Amino acid sequence: MEKPDIFRDIAERTGGDIYLGFPGPVRTGKSTLIKRMMELLVLPNIKNPNERDRARDELPQSGAGRTISTTEPKFIPNEAVEITIKQGLNLKVRMVDCVGYQVEGAIGYEDEGLPRMVRTPWVEEAIPFQEAAEIGTRKVINDHSTLGIAVFTDGSIGDIPRENYLDAEERVIYELKESKKPFIVVLNSLHPDWEETIELAHSLEDQYDVPVLPLNVAELTTDDIIHILEEALYEFPVTEVNVNLPKWIEELETDYWLRESFETAVRQAISKVSRLRDIDQVIEELSQNDQVDKVTLLNVDLGTGSTTIEMSAKEVLFYEALEDLTGFDIRGSHHLFKYMVELSKVKREYDKVAAGLQEVRNIGYGLVSPTVED
């Protein structure tokens, strides 16, 4: 999908505003990711040079090692800026760098042996670092974001081991799911293409039921950003699921067993759908039905959240239903062809006397006029 299409879809889903929140544990690369996205996505598309300079000055600072860089929530830029992707496609963009959740081994939680106190936009007095992380994540996602991008790491970006991040990751995922907002996870790694990194990403996907993208955020490319946003779009809610049944099944009476079976299978499958991503599961479930020949995804409109699926039935069911409803022995297309020819002859003969038969029913007798053929 080309860049303008992604942004057009996001604009449609969010009302033209892209407000991205970046929660996660400390020392995972949240600020680095924001900086790269600003440099690649936002700054080049700000037309006003003064706004561009202001936004550049507000880029977050990031550093290596164990020392915490972000000590309070920060809006980047401080006020949302309008970017122009192409003519007629303008978006307002703002990102929020969250205070990270506490991780054992990181430095900066304490000040002279006491819990470090930080200030947030939501509480007047200074509060402990960890409390700021929890309140900030909830506030950022619920009140200031249309989309969450959680940032985790495999531990390769610093000298804090992977296991130290696990508790903080669970808390982040919990807060994000409680918010009911769409979100994905970026797994920051120095070697995102390694097999063990990809396996870790898959493991986290299975554990949390959310997309996990292994990336080196310090070397993020424009294509990576497009991929992040595209994956995020599939986390938005489904607004409509259209399922096209085979036309001949739609001609059956609503209480006929085969039509009931198809409609029940569809209802059961789509009852589990909440996100656009869930459509894949619907297709898989319907495809496993013994009566179904093929299930095809015809369309996914990421901008509106609507999808269209088409189903086809196994051919043998068509002839079984015909035989059941007509009483004719129909074993294939050759039988159907023979009966159609015979029935057409019978119908032509019936049409000659149909009016007379109707008169018989109405008044007790009827007249049939001969035709030229007679």
pLDDT tens digits in sequence order for the chain, 374 residues long: 444 466 777 777 777 778 888 999 988 989 899 999 989 888 888 888 888 888 888 887 665 556 566 656 778 887 777 776 656 667 788 888 877 888 888 776 666 667 778 777 778 888 887 787 778 777 877 787 888 999 999 999 988 999 999 999 999 999 899 888 899 999 999 999 999 999 999 999 999 999 999 999 999 998 898 889 888 888 988 989 999 999 999 999 999 999 999 999 999 999 989 998 999 999 999 999 999 999 999 988 888 889 999 999 999 998 899 889 888 787 777 777 776 777 777 777 666 666 767 766 777 766 667 766 66
Q: What is the pLDDT of residue 311?
A: 97
Does residue 145 belong to any structural domain of this protein? Answer: yes
Residue where the block lists tokens 């996205």: 37
- DSSP assignment of 40-58, as one string? IIIGGG---HHHHHHHHHT
Q: Name the domain boundary from 233, 266, 287.
A: 233
pLDDT on residue 87? 63
Residue 328 is assigned to a structural domain of this protein: no
Domain assignment of residue 110, yes or no:
yes
Place of tokens 């939680």: 109
- Tell me, yes or no, whether 43 and 183 share the same domain: yes
Q: What is residue 366's predicted lDDT score, i.e. its pLDDT?
A: 63
182 and 304 together in one domain: no
Q: How far apart are CA 162 and CA 184, in angstroms?
A: 19
pLDDT of residue 51: 84
Q: Do 216 and 190 form a contact (C-beta atoms < 8 A)? A: yes
Q: What is the pLDDT of residue 92?
A: 80
25: burial class by Cβ within 10 Å (0-12, 13-18, 19+)?
buried
Instruction: Please give the pLDDT value at position 166.
Output: 96
**Does one domain contain both 156 and 30?**
yes
Residue-by-residue DSSP string for 71-86: -S-EEEEEEEEEEEEE
Residue 94, in any domain of the structure: yes
Q: Tally the domains of the chain.
A: 2
CATH of the domain at 102: 3.40.50.300
Shared domain check, 155 and 25: yes
Does residue 22 lie in a domain region? yes
Which H or E run contains 210?
Answer: none
Closest residue by Cα to residue 313 from 287, 334, 335? 287
Structure token pair of residue 235: 């986390």
First to last CA, the chain: 68
Q: Are residues 223 and 244 in the same domain?
A: no
Residue 278, domain CATH: 3.10.20
Domain span at 247: 240-317
Beta-bridge partners for 311: 295
Q: What would you report as the CA-atom Rg of the chain, rounded to the nearest whole angstrom?
A: 31
Instruction: Look at residue 74 in the predicted model and tell me its pLDDT.
Output: 79
Q: Residue length, the chain?
A: 374
What does the pLDDT read at residue 288?
Answer: 95
Q: Are 317 and 258 in contact (CB under 8 A)?
A: yes
